[in-house]
Amino acid sequence: MFEVIQAQPHDAILQLMALYRQDPNPHKVDLGVGVYKDELGNTPIMQAVDRAQRILIEQELTKTYIGPAGAPQYNQLISQLILGQSLYQQLSNRLAVAQTPGGCGALRMAAEFLKSCSPDTTVWVSDPTWANHIPLLGGAGLKIQTYAYYDHASGGIQFDKMMSALDAAKTGDVVLLHGCCHNPSGADLNLEQWKAVTELVQRKGLLPFVDMAYQGLGDGLDEDAAGVRYLAEQVPELIIAASCSKNFGLYRERTGVLLILSANAEQSLNTASQLFGTIRSHYSMPPNHGAAIVEVILSNGDLRNLWQQELGQMRRRIGDLRVQFNQTLSQQGVEQDFSFIERQKGMFSFLGISAQQVHRLRDEYSIYMVDSSRVNVAGLSSQNLDYVCKAVINVLKTS
C-alpha cells in the first residue's frame, strides 16, 4: 500500500534548522526559525517558567486525563491575558475556549470547526503569511485566497489594496489576520486600520480569525492586543488562535489556546459542543505540562511580575536590535534604505534581497535565513551584528 506515497517537499523553516545544525563554521548565524535568542545565541528557559515548573512538580497530585477542553483555569487566565479582564468578563458567556497543542493545534482545530460549519469555507490569508498557515488551514479542506498585504517598496502595508481585495470576499468567507508582529513581515495594522477592517468584515458579513502568536513581543501585552480586543467588542463572531511558544518560551511544550466567540450564549453552547467533539476525534485531549506552567505563572503575583519583566527584556532587546541593525548597515555604507526594519515589530523582517543573495549568505558566510529573506531579528547580537551587516552589504554589492 505504501508504495503510492511520494516524498513530500521539505518544510523550508524546518530544513533550515537542520542545515544550520550541521554547519561546522564557528561564525555561523541563525536568523531562520522564529525562536527568541539572547545575547549569547541561547534560548534559555525563562526564570518564571523554571520556577513555575518546580512548583508544579511539588504540587501536582495526578496525571489523570484533563478532557478535550483542557484545564478550565488555564483557559480562563490565558483568555483574560488576550482579551483583558473586563472584556473577558463581558464576553465570557459567548466564548468557547480550548487549550490546544500549540498555536498550530488551535489553527487546525479552528479550520476543522469551520469545515463543520460549512465545507466550502474560504479563508483569506495575507500575502505573504506564515508558511504553515496554508497547510494547516488548507489541509483541513478549506479553500485559500490571498489578500494584498506587505509592500516591499515601503516596508509597510498596502492597506488600500488589502481593503479592496477583502471587499471582493463573499459573505461567510473567513479573514485571517495576524494579531501583532506579522509573520513574516513585521508590518502590523495600526488601530485605525483595525477599525477599518472591523467595519469591512461587519459590512460584508465576513468572519474574522486572528492568529495571536507573539503577544507581548511588539509594543507590550495590552498594546499588542488592542486590535483583536477592538474586533472582539464589535463583531458577533470571532475566532482567536493563540500561542505561548514565544511569549512564555514554551516552544516544545506545545501550549496554545483557541477561543471561539459566538453571537449569543445559547449558540456558544453548541459551538463548544462541536469544538470539543472535533478535538476528541483528532487528538482527544491537549498535553498538560506547558499549560499547567502558564496557569501557575498567571495565577501567582510574583511569578506573573517576573514573567512580565522577562518578556519586557525580550521585547526591548528585539527593539534595540532593530535599531542597531539599521544603524550598522548605514554606518557600513549600505546604499539601500533599511529604516523599515526599525519601524516593524516582533521577531521578523524581510531584508528584501533575492533568494540567490540569501543562498550566497548561507554558502559564503554561514548566515541562515528563509529564502524569502525573512530574518529573525532576535538571532542578531553584538557579537554577530558587524559580521552580518558586512556580509549583507558585500552580497548586495557583488550580485
Among 20, 36, 74, 130, binds ligand LMR (CB under 6 A): 130
User: How many residues touch ligand LMR (CB under 6 A)?
Assistant: 6
Q: Which of 153, 177, 152 is nearest to 163 (CA)?
A: 177
Residue nearest ligand LMR (C-beta atom): 34
Indicate the residue among 34 and 286 with the shorter CB distance to ligand LMR.
34
- Please give the helix or strand (H or E) that residue 259 lies within, else none: strand 255-261
- The dihedrals phi and psi of 29, each to the nearest 5 degrees, come to -130, 130
Indicate the residue among 183 and 328 with the shorter CB distance to ligand LMR.
183
Shortest Cβ distance from residue 251 to ligand LMR (Å)? Answer: 8
Residue 19 found at the interface with ligand LMR (CB under 6 A): no
Q: Are 83 and 229 in contact (CB under 8 A)?
A: yes
Query: Grid coordinates 513574516 are at which residue?
Result: 184
Residue 128 found at the interface with ligand LMR (CB under 6 A): no
Q: Which of 240, 237, 229, 228 is nearest to 264 (CA)?
A: 237
Shortest Cβ distance from residue 259 to ligand LMR (Å)? Answer: 20
Among 75, 100, 121, 132, binds ligand LMR (CB under 6 A): 132
Per the residue annotation, which of 28, 37, 246, 345 is the catalytic one?
Answer: 246
The x, y and z cell numbers of residue 26, run together, are 564557528
d(CA 223, CA 229): 10
Residue 13 found at the interface with ligand LMR (CB under 6 A): yes
Per the residue annotation, which of 30, 211, 224, 345 is the catalytic one?
Answer: 211
Active site (annotated) includes residue 130: yes
Shortest Cβ distance from residue 32 to ligand LMR (Å)? Answer: 7
Shortest Cβ distance from residue 19 to ligand LMR (Å)? Answer: 14
Active site (annotated) includes residue 246: yes
Kind of pairing between the strands at 207-212 and 238-243 = parallel
Shortest Cβ distance from residue 372 to ligand LMR (Å)? Answer: 11
- Please give the helix or strand (H or E) that residue 373 lies within, else none: none
* Beta bridge partner(s), residue 125: 146
Indicate the residue among 75 and 372 with the shorter CB distance to ligand LMR.
372
Taking CB under 6 A as the criterion, which residues in 170-199 touch ligand LMR?
A: 183
Q: If you ran DSSP here, which 8-state letter would residue 219 be given?
A: S
Active site (annotated) includes residue 390: no
Taking CB under 6 A as the criterion, which residues in 28-47 touch ligand LMR?
A: 33-34
Residue 200 found at the interface with ligand LMR (CB under 6 A): no
Query: Grid coordinates 459590512 are at which residue?
Result: 203
Sequence-ordered list of residues with C-beta below 8 angstroms from that of 283, at least 6 positions apart, any chain:
101, 105
Taking CB under 6 A as the criterion, which residues in 327-386 touch ligand LMR?
A: none
The x, y and z cell numbers of residue 59, run together, are 504540587
Indicate the residue among 70 and 102 with the shorter CB distance to ligand LMR.
102
Q: If you ran DSSP here, which 8-state letter would residue 349 be given?
A: E
Q: Are 331 and 395 in contact (CB under 8 A)?
A: no
Rule CB under 6 A: which residues touch ligand LMR?
Answer: 13, 33-34, 130, 132, 183
What residues are annotated to the active site? Answer: 130, 211, 246
